[in-house]
Structure 1
Amino acid sequence: MNINLQDMNLIDLLSEKHLALRKRVTQMDPDNINKTESHILAVLKIHTMLSISEISRIIGISRQGTHKSIQGLLSHGYVETAEVAGNQRDKHIVLSPNGVECNRKILVIKKQLEQQIISKLGHKNVELIKTLLKEDWLDV
């Protein structure tokens, strides 16, 4: 066990585990997309179509940072721009077929990692963690 984790509060512990898991996913990804790009693809899978500003708000980084990541995803064919009737100002982003396939590969990786976590913590504990994280315990 990492001695540095012993003195951390809940917020920092969750952040550390989140960063470590995102890093592991990107290291195992055959498409070599970074953690921000991976996060954007996951958000687009859920929301189908979003503007760059909306993506920025959801993932919590600057619009400029999001724009740079979107440009990388566009250049590799993982996302496409979409026209929205009545909105000429904002670019809207959708998953391309390559992006859908990339998300599928990343989901396989995530399931493998979840199995590794289950083998260390036990199925019952992982289900408890998932249940607790799904609870509405933040007033945001």
Structure 2
Amino acid sequence: MNLQELNLIDLLSEKHLFLRQKVTELSPGQINKTESHILAVLEAHKMLSISEISRIINISRQGTHKSIQGLLSRGYIEGVDVANNQRDKHLVLTPKGIECNRKMLIVKRQLEQQIADKLGPERVELIKALLKEDWLES
């Protein structure tokens, strides 16, 4: 694929997909890129419903449900009851899920260092600063 021809949106998508795949390949365990994304989102938010996760990672509820079932069956996450909510269970990381995220964070730091080695640390910090800014409308 010729990256020179892509617009900003497609460039960001290509880099995101590549990096998620790399994290998955280099991380221990049998976690796919969607599952690794779900684990990262759960770590950031501590507790979420399937619907909330689906909205955040922007895939169908059915796709999210399938990935969550795999994570539940392998002990990376668990369902917990929520006070004043009889209908929905929320999901949280188990110790195994926390450990998996810790190992993935090591891989992410190594990848970030590889990017910094190619682009320079100042440019990586600039990219991070730009991505942290609120320039998207909901």
Please indicate the TM-score interval, normalised by the length of the shorter structure: over 0.9
Partner in structure 2 of residue 11 of structure 1: 9
Structure 2 match to 1:34: 32
Shift of 1:26: 0.4
Letter in 1 for 2:23: V
- 2:48 alignment partner, SS class: strand
Q: Please, which moves more after superposition, 83-92 or 53-62?
A: 83-92
CA contact (8 A) 2:27 2:103 kept: yes
Moved over 2 A (4+): none
The normalised TM-score by structure 1 is 0.96
Which segments of 5 or more consecutive residues in structure 1 lack a partner in the other structure?
Answer: none
Contact 2:35 2:68 in 1 (8 A): yes
Give the deviation of 1:32 after TM superposition.
Answer: 2.2
Letter in 2 for 1:84: V
Letter in 1 for 2:51: S
Cα deviation for residue 90 of structure 1 reads 1.2
| 1:76 corresponds to | 74
In the other structure, the counterpart of 1:132 is 130
Correspondence for 1:119? 117
Per-residue CA distance 1:54-90 (angstroms, 9 max, x = gap): 1111110111111111110011110011011221211
Give, in whole Å, the separation in 1 of the partners of 2:51 and 2:103.
27
Alignment partner, residue 25 of structure 1: 23
Whole-angstrom distance in 2 between the partners of 1:41 and 1:114: 19
Amino acid corresponding to residue 7 of structure 2 in structure 1: N
User: What 5-or-longer segments of structure 2 have no aligned partner?
Assistant: none
SS in 1 for 2:28: coil
Normalised to the residue count of structure 2, the TM-score between the two structures is: 0.97
Q: Distance between the aligned counterparts of 2:124 and 2:51, measured in 1?
A: 34
> What fraction of aligned residue pairs are identical, expressed as a percent?
73
Aligned to 1:97: 95
CA RMSD of aligned residues (A): 0.8
Aligned to 1:47: 45
Query: Contact (CA 8 Å) 2:81, 2:88: kept in 1 or not?
Result: no
